[in-house]
Chains A and B, each alone.
Chain A
Amino acid sequence: MDKFTFKTPEGTRDLMFDECETFNFVKNTLSEMFSSRGYYEVKTPVLEYFDLFTLESAHFKQEDMYKLCDNTGRILVLRPDMTMPIARLASTRLKGAPLPIRLYYIQDVFRQNPGYKGRSNDIAQAGIELIGLNGLLSDLEVIITAARAIEQCGLFDYKIEIGHAGIFKKLIDRLNIDSDSKEEIRIYIETKNYNALENKLKTYPEPMVKAIKELPKLFGGREILDTALEIFGDLASEELGFLYKLYDSLNAELQDKIYLDLGLVHRNNYYTGTVFRGYIMGSGDMVVSGGRYDSLLSEFGCDLPATGFAIDLNALTGVLLSKSKGIGVKNPDMLVFALPSYEIKAIRFMEEQINKGTICELLPFDSKESAIKQANIRKASRIAVIGENCEIFDLV
């Protein structure tokens, strides 16, 4: 056997026992919550065509995707994202369905990260997509659902930041520059690299430049909208007006959890309106990412507005486990010990006990002493010895 027989590939890992229990708790909590809010579950294939993720608006780097070929030589990928498959599904399978369409999914996405960085290449996500609605109400529904999803898992030390993809697009489109420079500027804003942004913009004329330069600095409470309004004038008054309404409504519901970051400019340029991210104390990376993508579905011939988010289940599980809020593995209540030729009787007895809600484990020991010894190791509180009679012993 070669050395690869014994380990999992870079960026993947086994989940065991309490990790699984905690993961399932998170997963079940979210799926119950989504379905009680009128969302229906969908599952999409792990494999999709490479082309789906190379649409102009998608912007997935080819080197980040796991690729393989099918038997006719077409290139497939392990899905790196869930929004594109959902857009594909909604615009084909659900074409003409009554609106709005509410969908949720709990699936893994796969991304190749550089090696030895401790990043996970297999990311379990839960998410919702609300298709066919735009406007304040649907944005509120989705963002508040994201907040409740975190709270339902028992985590309350979190923040949600909101921004608007339209602001950057409007400002940058007024600068007459090529798409490479746009992307460079976007990266400087996203990484709050004030210096590089300043240098890059030196050659362009005011006043557009001033507005763009200020974008990454505009994060905080309601006051930053006032500042933005002052700086931008009427360049993005529609978007800012919307953010006032959104922020005030969210603030009434989520108070100090919510703040604004106008420098929130995602790499995925399918976002068109409100964008948001969620952070939880204890996780160094964002845990929730979402926003409105009103023009994506039209690329699939289905002109519908849509919004949604994805939440990183591994990150939630990790935070819960690190706070010892994880769900422990249950020890058996009772060990069932079968004497020779009473095996079926023992199994029947065990099933009766299980129906009463007891966790049982069958053991094939040849003496009562070794069964008691085992029961102590397994931290079981009772053993049952099944022979001609059924004897139950309590262990202290």
Chain B
Amino acid sequence: MRPIRIALTKGRLEKETIKIFDKMQLDTSELKNKGRRLILPLSGYEAVLAKAADVITYIEHGVCDIGIVGKDTILEYPGSFYEMLDLNIGKCVFALAGPKGFDFYSGYSVKTVATKYPNVARAFFEQKGMDVKIIKIEGSVELAPLLNLSEGIVDLVETGNTLRENGLEIIETITPISARVIVNVASLKLRKTEIENFISQMEKAI
């Protein structure tokens, strides 16, 4: 049987997750000196490095068993898996933001919103019963209102510095975000003990 595979979100979350692994006394030396390798041994487990949305894909298909991914990605790419633990790392918020002083909710005209997270934006405005035009942007979303493409943006906000420096401000907070541990449904059932052990160790380390 193959070792339990743990999919990590590359980048900032990866570093914070490795800190947790260290506290769990796992041997993270290979992860720290990964070079260009994407699958690395981790004290009898296998760590896989992937982009956030791909972590979800690998977990859903059961090619990885445990995944560590931001709630932002889970909200944008919903799927069927267990979401078992909040790691309280990678904390930030989803927010609706717009030019400083602009009253987003005023008037009858349909507003335009730019975002990297169209599903999150749509769900937010649906729940408000508000029609908006959503435009998907891949890079710096803050540009869209500055260029008059949109009246607002829906984006992740951590410190708010980028918003401030570009003359934008939070209009409304949508939901807090942090990293979560997700688990493939079949894996939890077929390899219960191993996975529960890992997760309870992780829980103790946060």
A residues near B (Cβ < 8 Å) are 117-118, 157, 159, 161, 191-196, 219-220, 259, 261, 277, 279-281, 283-286
B residues near A (Cβ < 8 Å) are 1, 57, 60-63, 79-86, 180, 183-190, 192
- Contact indicator B85/A281 (Cβ below 8 Å): no
Q: Could you list 22 A-B pairs, sorted by A, with CB under 8 Å?
A: A118-B57, A157-B190, A159-B189, A159-B190, A191-B81, A191-B82, A192-B183, A192-B188, A193-B83, A195-B85, A195-B86, A219-B192, A220-B192, A259-B192, A283-B62, A284-B61, A284-B185, A284-B186, A284-B187, A285-B80, A285-B185, A286-B186
How would you classify the secondary structure of chain B's contact residues: helix, strand, loop or mixed?
Answer: mixed
Question: Which residues of B are found within 8 Å of A117, using beta-carbon distances?
Answer: 57, 60, 79
Contacts A117-B57, A159-B189, A161-B189 hold; do A285 and B86 have CB atoms under 8 A apart? no
Question: Residue of B at shortest CB range from A194?
Answer: B84
Question: Knowing that A192-B82, A283-B186 are A-B contacts, what are 12 other residue pairs whose CB atoms are under 8 Å apart, sorted by A's residue number?
Answer: A117-B57, A157-B190, A159-B189, A161-B189, A191-B81, A191-B83, A192-B188, A193-B82, A261-B189, A279-B190, A284-B62, A286-B185
Q: How far is A190 from B185 in the complex, measured between Cα atoms in Å? A: 10
Contact of B61 among A118, A157, A220 (CB under 8 A): A118
Q: How far is A161 from B80 in the complex, measured between Cα atoms in Å? A: 17
- Contact indicator A284/B82 (Cβ below 8 Å): no
Question: Which residues of A are found within 8 Å of B82, using beta-carbon distances?
Answer: 191-193
Q: How far is the CB of B1 from chain A (nearest CB, A)?
A: 8
Question: Which residues of A are found within 8 Å of B83, using beta-carbon distances?
Answer: 191-193, 195-196
Question: Which residues of A are found within 8 Å of B79, using beta-carbon distances?
Answer: 117
- Contact indicator A285/B186 (Cβ below 8 Å): yes
Q: How far is A193 from B183 in the complex, measured between Cα atoms in Å? A: 11
- Contact indicator A192/B60 (Cβ below 8 Å): no
Question: Which residues of B are found within 8 Å of A279, using beta-carbon distances?
Answer: 185-186, 189-190
Contacts A117-B57, A117-B60, A286-B185 hold; do A281 and B190 have CB atoms under 8 A apart? yes
Q: How far is A231 from B169 in the complex, measured between Cα atoms in Å? A: 47
- Contact indicator A284/B184 (Cβ below 8 Å): yes
Q: How far is A314 from B183 in the complex, measured between Cα atoms in Å? A: 23
Q: How far is the CB of A265 from chain B (nearest CB, A)?
A: 13
Question: Which residues of B are found within 8 Å of A191, using beta-carbon distances?
Answer: 80-83
Q: How far is the CB of B130 from chain A (nearest CB, A)?
A: 18
Question: Which residues of A are found within 8 Å of B81, using beta-carbon distances?
Answer: 191
Question: Residue of A at shortest CB range from B65?
Answer: A284
Question: Residue of A at shortest CB range from B188?
Answer: A192
Q: How far is A54 from B184 in the complex, measured between Cα atoms in Å? A: 30
Question: Which residues of A are found within 8 Å of B63, using beta-carbon distances?
Answer: 284
Contact of B84 among A118, A192, A277 (CB under 8 A): A192
Q: How far is A118 from B85 in the complex, measured between Cα atoms in Å? A: 27
Q: How far is A277 from B57 in the complex, measured between Cα atoms in Å? A: 22
Question: Which residues of B are found within 8 Å of A285, using beta-carbon distances?
Answer: 61-62, 80, 185-186
Q: How far is A281 from B189 in the complex, measured between Cα atoms in Å? A: 10
Question: Which residues of B are found within 8 Å of A220, using beta-carbon distances?
Answer: 192
Q: How far is the CB of B189 from chain A (nearest CB, A)?
A: 5
Question: Which residues of A are found within 8 Å of B185, using beta-carbon distances?
Answer: 279, 284-286
Q: How far is the CB of A260 from chain B (nearest CB, A)?
A: 11
Q: How far is the CB of A227 from chain B (nearest CB, A)?
A: 15
Question: Which residues of B are found within 8 Å of A284, using beta-carbon distances?
Answer: 60-63, 184-187
